[in-house]
Amino acid sequence: MTILLPTDPTATLPKPLGGSLVNRIRRAGHDFEAAELVGLPQLELDDRAYADLEMLATGAYSPLTGFVNEADYLSIIQHLRLDDGTPWSIPITLPVRRKDAGTLRGRVVLTRGGEAVGWIDVQEQFDAQKGLESREVYRTEDPAHPGVAALLAQGDVNLSGPVALFEVPRGAFARHHRTPAEVREVIEARGWRSSVAFQTRNPIHRAHEYLQKVALELVDGLLLHPLVGTTKGDDVPAHTRVEAYEVLLDRYYPQARTLLSVYPAAMRYAGPREAILHALSRRNYGVTHFIVGRDHAGVGSYYGTYDAQEIFGAYTAQELGIQILKFEHTFYCQTCGQLVSPRTCPHDSSHHLILSGTKVREKLRAGEHLPAEFTRPEVAEVLRAAYSVQP
């Protein structure tokens, strides 16, 4: 594990990227009148665009106030920075079909299921450079990559401009759905002078628990921050994952030092690039540390095992404004009788209990039990029950 030591031992919550937390929430009857929207052009958002709208409007993607312009788009892709030099790794774009772009000018009402949820003040339209974006952001043009597939399927013209969101869509996870400002309030109320965030799109198994608790020995609080936006079709559904987190935290974590809060972003599977985005956005949520483990945000074999750790070398610690905890691969060693990593275990892989996500799903669908060394029995039961009702 590599730890970057704090530069200011008296610091508490880090400043949001850009210096202040963006707030683009605009409420009807308070910030504007509904009649002002009548007759304006409309654009229906897909799952990812709606998630991006929330992340932009609540400040999770500070300093962005809206979907990026062409200068920022190209700078992010080519230099891992906004055009003004601010660290940023993935362009947050609003793509539309070319045949529709001509009607989407000025203030455009953004809809979801036909209902108005926000707006964008279109300041610029520009062509997406899908080949360049695929090669640089995803490191491949293979259409089998889910991020590349999504990019190729979307429109060829990007809309740019500041956005507004009318209401935070807390949805199915209202109890755990907090904006960056709300997470910061909890951290301050609990008196955490340091905190660590853990990003996950999978149910927590024992290796994850090990990483979190090692980190919790170093800081005051843990933000367990599971991604609940759009993921691949074969990933464990968000409601099942959240239920698994709830039973685990209730039984095995210190309540006063742990906060479960959902992260509404959509998954892009951009590996190293997405690791940066996850870290910078957690800075905006107010944590001081972020865990990056093996193949963070990866998929298939498109990225090296520790590429997502090495990429942070593109920035100084001051630019990042959040400390990165870099962990090696951890697993249960049957001979050691505990969770270990290559740093602490002398035994070869024949001694190790490692289950891939595919193998876990196969066992669950077959009604088999997951070994306690791999995951807590309570979590295994939540997963088994969920898979037993699937067709």
Q: Is 202 a catalytic residue?
A: yes
Which is catalytic among the residues 24, 139, 201, 206? 201
Q: Degrees (nearest 5) of the Cα angle 202, 205, 210?
A: 120
| CB contact set of 217 (below 8 Å; sequence gap of 6+) | none
In what side-by-side order are the strands of the sheet with 2-3?
Answer: 2-3, 323-326, 289-292, 195-200, 221-226, 258-260
Q: Using CA atoms, how far apart are residues 381 and 104, in angstroms rounded to an integer?
A: 49
The helix/strand/coil state of 47 is helix
Q: Is 384 a catalytic residue?
A: no
Which is catalytic among the residues 202, 294, 361, 384? 202
Q: Using CA atoms, how far apart are residues 189 and 232, in angstroms rounded to an integer?
A: 36
Identify the helix (H) or strand (E) that includes residue 67.
strand 66-67
Q: What is the CA radius of gyration of the chain?
A: 21
| H helix runs in 191-267, sequence order | 206-216, 238-252
The helix/strand/coil state of 310 is helix
Q: Is 83 exposed, middle or buried (0-12, 13-18, 19+ CB in 10 A)?
A: middle
Q: Using CA atoms, how far apart are residues 221 and 26, in angstroms rounded to an integer?
A: 32
Length of the chain equals 391
Q: Using CA atoms, how far apart are residues 41 and 324, in angstroms rounded to an integer?
A: 43
Backbone angles phi, psi at 149, to 5 degrees: -60, -45
Q: Which residues are catalytic?
A: 201-202
